A and B are shown apart, each in its own frame.
Chain A
């Protein structure tokens, strides 16, 4: 029985029937707005107090390791491995919570921070204890900065944490959430990636070992610390355990942010949003760096890295965009590509010029002007893997999938036809958050 509505504390033993149930991160609440500290503690229980010394730290890291938690920001790196790498550093480490959500179509981090900021802050503080950091910097999208800052102030007044928590706004740039760009932003106000060596876990902010974690990942850490690895694994798949937040947008009846167990079939995920509002032509899986897929092919697949690999896709940052059949996929791809080209850091020629040319080629194809797809493919090959970061690679991957899925559309355009009846640009509109 779900006692959450009455605000009572729920027991989440790994063996209890509630263990494998959703929601975990986004419980339904009667009142709107963020959960205050008292309500948060009443619902989830107090933050596990840090024990003395390395034994407690190592046990908690082992618990996170046993849970199989991976980064929820898109890269999917094993969280425990990151924690260990930073904890092993020589200087005093520092924790940066990444809530910048540079992907314009994704809303999950904003929604999580707006509704359960204390869950994220719990996780950040726990991460700080695990790596031995004395300070946490929470970088968030400007839309939720005030809320998160208020939550941090609330904790300070209640003397809830023994580490310093600072909240700041992120740069409003797509690439600003990439780990080295985030460190660069916090340190110098420049949201641009830097050459990888040395690794951020060894030498990041101020040359100190830096832990950069997505805010959703930290929220999961906060729950794992309370309920354990086995509880966490009661959802999801054996190789990709746990739950994740997804942003569902496009031609759906109730677009918004939802929480799913990893491995839920894609069509069931779409049902959470009350299903398609119109016959679907394509799905964009993962985010702007994701992959276009045919809805019939992707529908039965589990929403997991393993499941989606069958169509060459991966969950990425948890975005699923449903493109209706009467919306021109080429035009949408051209718009997204043009946006991504503009978000280039501008440091490397193949990215600056390559993405610009590729966007121009897609715009030409979308507008029905003659353009040789072979030339576009050539440019895709030339832009890939030749920048200092992976920005051009993400674009190339997304465009290649578009060429595959919208191949018939390209032929139609070449002959002067287009099936699009709606104006393009619906994918760029951010969704309403789930009530």
Chain B
């Protein structure tokens, strides 16, 4: 692994609140009040990469992935989040 940045992301449609990820990677994954994972939106430190990979491997729904993108577009993804589009968009 190079020193590139990597974020752990949940596919919210695939996720089914099985909870294995939070068991093996509590450093960055906690469960909300309904059992669904809240993943820290931070770079995964190199020391924790193996734990992250274990969580990805163990997910029964393959809902976790490691997003290796340059930091610029990740912050753009966060800050560029538009207002909720209305119900008659256009």
Contacts and interface: CB of A to CB of B under 8 A. Distances in A.
B72 interface: no
Nearest to B86: A74
B35 to A, nearest CB: 7
B88 A289 contact: no
Which among B13, B38, B81, B82 has the greatest number of chain A C-beta atoms within 10 A? B13
Interface stretch (A60-68, A169-177, A399-407): A169-177
A316 B86 contact: yes
B12 A350 contact: yes
Interface in A228-248: none
A397 B84 contact: yes
Interface size class on chain A is 35 or more
Contacts of A394: 84
A353 B34 contact: yes
A75 B81 contact: no
Interface string B1-45: 000000000111101110000000000000011111010000000
A75 B33 contact: no
Contacts of B36: 349-350, 353, 386
Interface in A323-354: 347-351, 353-354
A98 B90 CA distance: 7
A74 B85 contact: yes
Given A382-B32, A382-B33, A102 B88 contact: yes
Given A75-B82, A349-B34, A379-B33, A386 B12 contact: yes
Nearest to B90: A214
Nearest to A386: B12
Given A349-B35, A349-B36, A388-B12, A317 B84 contact: no
A179 B88 contact: no
Contacts of B11: 388
Interface string B68-88: 000000000000011111111
A109 to B, nearest CB: 6
A71 B13 contact: no
A291 B17 CA distance: 31
A425 B86 CA distance: 21
B90 A212 contact: yes
B86 A287 contact: yes
Dominant SS among interface residues on chain B:
loop
Given A347-B12, A349-B17, A387-B12, A357 B33 contact: yes
B86 A103 contact: yes
Nearest to B35: A349
Interface in A371-391: 378-379, 382, 385-388, 390-391
Nearest to A217: B90
Contacts of B83: 75-76, 314, 390
Contacts of A378: 33
B12 A317 contact: no
A98 B84 contact: no
A320 B57 CA distance: 49
Given A349-B36, A385-B81, A74 B12 contact: no
Contacts of A55: none
A100 interface: yes
A74 B11 CA distance: 26
Contact of B90 (A213, A288, A382): A213
Given A349-B17, A350-B32, A388-B13, A75 B86 contact: yes
15 contacts: A73-B86, A75-B82, A75-B86, A97-B90, A176-B87, A214-B88, A286-B86, A348-B12, A350-B34, A382-B34, A388-B12, A388-B13, A391-B84, A393-B84, A397-B84
Interface of B: 10-13, 15-17, 32-36, 38, 81-90
Counting from the closest, the 6 A-B pairs by CB-CB distance are A74-B86, A102-B87, A214-B90, A394-B84, A390-B84, A348-B12
